[in-house]
Structure 1
Amino acid sequence: MSKKTLNKANLERLGAEKLADLVMDLVQGSAALQRRARMELSAAQGPQEVAADIRKRFVSLRRSTGFVDWRGQKALVRDLKGLLSMIDTSILPHDAAEAFDLLWSFLQLAPSIHARTDDSNGAVGSAMAEAMDLIAKVSPRLAQDPKALAERVLDAVAEAGFGEFDGIIPAMAEVLGMEGLDHLKRITDAWADEPATAQELARYRGYGAGSPEAIVRRNRQTTRSIILADIADAQGDVDAYMARYTAEQLIFGTIAPDVARRLLDAGRTEEAFEIVTRARAAEKGKAVRMFRYDLDEVYEECLGKLGRTDTLKDHLWETFLQGLNAASLRKYLKLLPDFDDIEAEDKALDLAEAHPHLGAAISFLVGWPARDRAAAVVLARAAEVDGNAYDTLTAAADALEAGHPLAATVLRRAMIQDTLDGAKSKRYAHAARHLAECQSCDPAIKDHGDLPSHQQFVDALRQKHGRKYGFWQLFNG
């Protein structure tokens, strides 16, 4: 490796003085880099110094009110994750209690940060999730009163408006122990039944449908349900987890998988099977059925544990047929005796080739992988290729290019024609790239069959779309 390569080993050879000069140059004009450099200097003085600097930064973040645009948000998230890194590396190994308090304060920044950012991409939320992971890492090392911790947890969850304390009970289950969890259960029940405070009523006055009292009561009941479910999980109490739902809710497609999974883990397979069977029947009876892989996965596990292999095989085969589900087919083949699985696989691939939805057939055959079959389907059904399905076709063309350049070209031509026929100018760059890929593939194609050669295809494009100058400028470079 060259001695000029920018890596840690080569930089270390510059020596401390030269590196210090470089750092001073780099931090000029960057408040974020200056803060990071100061914190590194504080860290060298000990955990208390860096903790003090982190708390000052928290105060600054809490006081800030200006809206952060998407450019500023990237820098903000880097700043937040840098603070977490400092807590993890410079404080947590030396002072678990201090690290815990800092992480708690970090999560409490969420309301002020969310109020001035658009976190539609989840970047700020991911930083909060990292903080929760660190709390899970540090909490077993705490030596604090479990009841006091339980009260702190309830206060935080009750006030959290952005989900920043989601997962706090699993993260602290070990340090809370049975004593803390039981206390949390009691004080949660008591809190949920208390009258609304004046502050809560003021918050929801004129908020929408229903009285402020009703809104507060509904919110508290929802929060209690979530807390008690987390406590039940932490205590391994399946019945307590199920008790938060009515008999009707237990068979909702969104609830049944989680309940059945917990019953399976507790060895209560028959009960799990009954719930998922009823949930599947309820889903099937709906006018619009959402296909729920999580529900089917638990159902399949129940059938396996109950020894109902024939029923399981029938289910897996039917699931494969419904949507060319590769995972279901693989599970099905594993249940068959040797050699029977080969015959069944061939049958499944034949059915995939004949599937009425060409995009689904191509995607399945490429991913299986059965690329010879995928290429054959593309060539045999070239007129059916939907050039607007660019996600599927781009991935398939890339996969087929090396072994089946003509099939890859057919897919790319379909996308090019769809883009130009529809004058989809935002996709011109992709279409130009696809045409260049067709050009590079052409020498490997020995026989175009009934399809036009590359030059014939380009000539036809120029004749039909010659006035789409934006596209041709991109293609011609």
Structure 2
Amino acid sequence: MSRKTLNKTNLERLGAAALADLVLDLVAGNAALQRQARMALSAAQGPKDIAADIRKRFAALRRASGFLDWRKQRALVKELDGLLDMIESRIAPEEADTTFELLWSFLQLAPSIHERTDDSNGAVGDVMGRAVELIGAVAPRITAEPRALAERVLEAVAEADFGEFDGIIPATAEALGPDGLAHLKQITNQWANTPPAQAELDKWRRFGLSTAPEEIVKRNRESTRSIILSDIADAQGDVDAYMARYTEEQLTYGTIAPGVARRLLDAGRVEEAHGIITRARATENAKGPRMFRHDLDEVYEECLQKLGHHDTLKDHLWDRFRAGLSAPALRRYLSLLPDFEDMEAEEAALDFVEAQAHPVPAVRFLVDWPAPARAARVVLARAAELDGNRFETLTPAAEALDADHPLAATLMRRAMIDDTLRGAKSKRYRHAARHLADCAACDSTIADYGDHPTHESFLATLRENHGRKHGFWSLVDG
């Protein structure tokens, strides 16, 4: 390797003085890099120095008021991640309490950040979620008094308008301990039943909503109380308390039943779990064709297995496979069959997949299974039906079939090229040009194109039909 290559070894040869000059030149005029350099210097001094610098940066972020567009937001999120890295690696190993306080302050930055940027991509929320995870890692080592911590948790959750403290109760459950969790439950109920202060009502009155502010506050508090109490119940292993937050009707919802049934299973209450999940499945099925709820199905399958209902489980898995081409369901179904019967059943299942009305889902399943010869057979037989817009499936499928089934790979790439050019999808031209180059590369390995056009013929047709799409041809012809 060249001694001029930019890597750690070669840079170390420059020596400390030369590297210091280089760093000073690089950070000149760049506030973000200057902050990073100062943080690195503080880190070299020890946890207390870097904690002091991090607190100063938090204060500056709280004071900031300028709008953050997507570029500035990305830079800020990168900086926030860097601050978390510093806290985790430089402070957490030695100073648990300091780490906890810094992470708590970090989460309290959320309102000021959300007020000046659009977080529809979830980037800010993700970095806040990481802070909660780090709190969960350090919380067992902190010295906070459990009841005081409980009061702090309630205040934070009650005032979190952007969900920044979501998950804080599971994260601090060990630190809260039995006394703290019990106290949190008590003060949560007291808070939810306390009449709202005038300032709290005025906040909602400003919006001029038709619903009375008192009703809004009451509803919000009830929702928050329900979440807090369910987290406490989970931490205490109290399934009944967790279930108590839901009505009988809500326990039949496909969004709620799996979580409740899972907790009952973990508590060894299999019959109850089976009853809840069965009623929920019946409710969902009564609504007509439904989106696949894998969590609902998976808990139901575990109930059947634990109850010893093996025939019902096999029937369910087979139906689930046929309904959504579920590979996990088919694999589990086959695992329940005796030797040799499973081989016959697999062949029947793959025959069913090949006969699907739409070829692209069939190709995806067969490539992933894997059954590449069958996938190639579907492509060759039904090339004209391939939806070239399904590039997320056809691209990896073509790559998987390249070596042993080059004609099938070529036909899938042609479908994507045709779709791109017919729709004048200029943003995909570079992908289409790459697909065409891959078709050319496969040409020499294809002995017989059968009823399909040769590569030269396909290329000529493209030039005839789409010759004016100069953006594409400039990529093809270089």
Q: TM-score if structure 1 supplies the norm length? A: 0.97
1:276–1:299 CA contact under 8 A, matched in 2 = yes
What is residue 321 of structure 1 aligned with on the other side?
322
Cα deviations by residue, 1:69-107 (Å, 9 ceiling, x for unpaired):
111112111111111122122222222111111110000
Q: CA deviation at 1:470?
A: 2.1
Q: CA deviation at 1:207?
A: 5.0
**Cα RMSD (Å) of the superposition?**
1.3
Cα deviations by residue, 1:1-22 (Å, 9 ceiling, x for unpaired):
5544433333333322222122
What is residue 170 of structure 1 aligned with on the other side?
170
Distance in 1, Cα, partners of 2:416 & 2:83? 46
Distance in 2, Cα, partners of 1:388 & 1:104? 46
Cα deviations by residue, 1:105-131 (Å, 9 ceiling, x for unpaired):
000000001111122222211211111
Residues 78-477 of structure 1 mapped to structure 2, 5 A cutoff: 78-205=78-205, 206-477=207-478
What is residue 51 of structure 1 aligned with on the other side?
51
Q: CA deviation at 1:272?
A: 0.3
Cα deviations by residue, 1:2-50 (Å, 9 ceiling, x for unpaired):
5444333333333222221222122112111111111221222222221
Distance in 1, Cα, partners of 2:26 & 2:340? 66
In structure 2, do the counterparts of structure 1 residues 369 and 209 end up closer, same or farther at CA, with 3 Å as the change threshold?
Answer: farther
Distance in 1, Cα, partners of 2:461 & 2:166? 59
Residues 17-36 of structure 1 mapped to structure 2, 5 A cutoff: 17-36=17-36
Q: CA deviation at 1:315?
A: 0.4
1:143 maps to a residue whose letter is T
**Residue ranges of structure 1 left out of the alignment (5+ in a row):** none
1:260–1:298 CA contact under 8 A, matched in 2 = yes
1:253–1:292 CA contact under 8 A, matched in 2 = yes
Percentage identity across paired residues of the two chains: 68
2:102 maps to a residue whose letter is L
Instruction: Report the 3-state secondary structure (helix = DSSP H, G, I; strand = E; otherwise coil) of the residue aligned with 1:355.
Output: coil
Which range is displaced more, 394-403 or 418-427? 418-427
1:295 maps to a residue whose letter is L
Distance in 2, Cα, partners of 1:86 & 1:424? 44
Q: CA deviation at 1:288?
A: 4.5
In structure 2, do the counterparts of structure 1 residues 207 and 147 end up closer, same or farther at CA, with 3 Å as the change threshold?
Answer: farther
Distance in 1, Cα, partners of 2:7 & 2:116? 37
2:221 maps to a residue whose letter is R
Distance in 1, Cα, partners of 2:40 & 2:173? 33
Instruction: Report the 3-state secondary structure (helix = DSSP H, G, I; strand = E; otherwise coil) of the residue aligned with 1:423.
Output: coil
Distance in 1, Cα, partners of 2:362 & 2:13? 57
Instruction: Report the 3-state secondary structure (helix = DSSP H, G, I; strand = E; otherwise coil) of the residue aligned with 2:444.
Output: helix
Instruction: Report the 3-state secondary structure (helix = DSSP H, G, I; strand = E; otherwise coil) of the residue aligned with 1:208.
Output: coil
1:409 maps to a residue whose letter is T
2:441 maps to a residue whose letter is S
Say if 2:9 is the partner of 1:6. no
Cα deviations by residue, 1:321-352 (Å, 9 ceiling, x for unpaired):
11211110011111111111111111111111
Distance in 2, Cα, partners of 1:361 & 1:426? 27
Cα deviations by residue, 1:236-261 (Å, 9 ceiling, x for unpaired):
00000000000110110000000000
Q: CA deviation at 1:318?
A: 0.6
1:54 maps to a residue whose letter is I
Which range is displaced more, 134-143 or 84-93? 84-93
Distance in 1, Cα, partners of 2:158 & 2:317? 44
Which range is displaced more, 455-464 or 39-48? 39-48
Distance in 2, Cα, partners of 1:332 & 1:209? 54
1:41 maps to a residue whose letter is L
Q: CA deviation at 1:459?
A: 0.8
Distance in 1, Cα, partners of 2:208 & 2:98? 39
Q: CA deviation at 1:468?
A: 2.1
Distance in 2, Cα, partners of 1:94 & 1:305? 46
Aligned length: 477
1:283–1:290 CA contact under 8 A, matched in 2 = no
Q: CA deviation at 1:429?
A: 2.3
Q: TM-score if structure 2 supplies the norm length? A: 0.97
Q: CA deviation at 1:406?
A: 0.3
Cα deviations by residue, 1:378-406 (Å, 9 ceiling, x for unpaired):
00111211222222111211111121110
Distance in 2, Cα, partners of 1:404 & 1:25? 55
1:7 maps to a residue whose letter is N
Cα deviations by residue, 1:179-207 (Å, 9 ceiling, x for unpaired):
00000000000000111112211111135
1:359 maps to a residue whose letter is V
Cα deviations by residue, 1:419-469 (Å, 9 ceiling, x for unpaired):
222233332222222111111111111111111110011111112222222
**Residue ranges of structure 2 left out of the alignment (5+ in a row):** none
Distance in 2, Cα, partners of 1:56 & 1:440? 58
2:211 maps to a residue whose letter is G
Distance in 1, Cα, partners of 2:340 & 2:22? 67
Instruction: Report the 3-state secondary structure (helix = DSSP H, G, I; strand = E; otherwise coil) of the residue aligned with 2:87.
Output: helix
Which range is displaced more, 216-225 or 195-204? 195-204
Distance in 2, Cα, partners of 1:321 & 1:287? 17
Instruction: Report the 3-state secondary structure (helix = DSSP H, G, I; strand = E; otherwise coil) of the residue aligned with 2:373.
Output: helix
Distance in 2, Cα, partners of 1:195 & 1:375? 68
Distance in 2, Cα, partners of 1:204 & 1:402? 64
Distance in 2, Cα, partners of 1:328 & 1:372? 22
1:154–1:188 CA contact under 8 A, matched in 2 = yes
1:9 maps to a residue whose letter is T
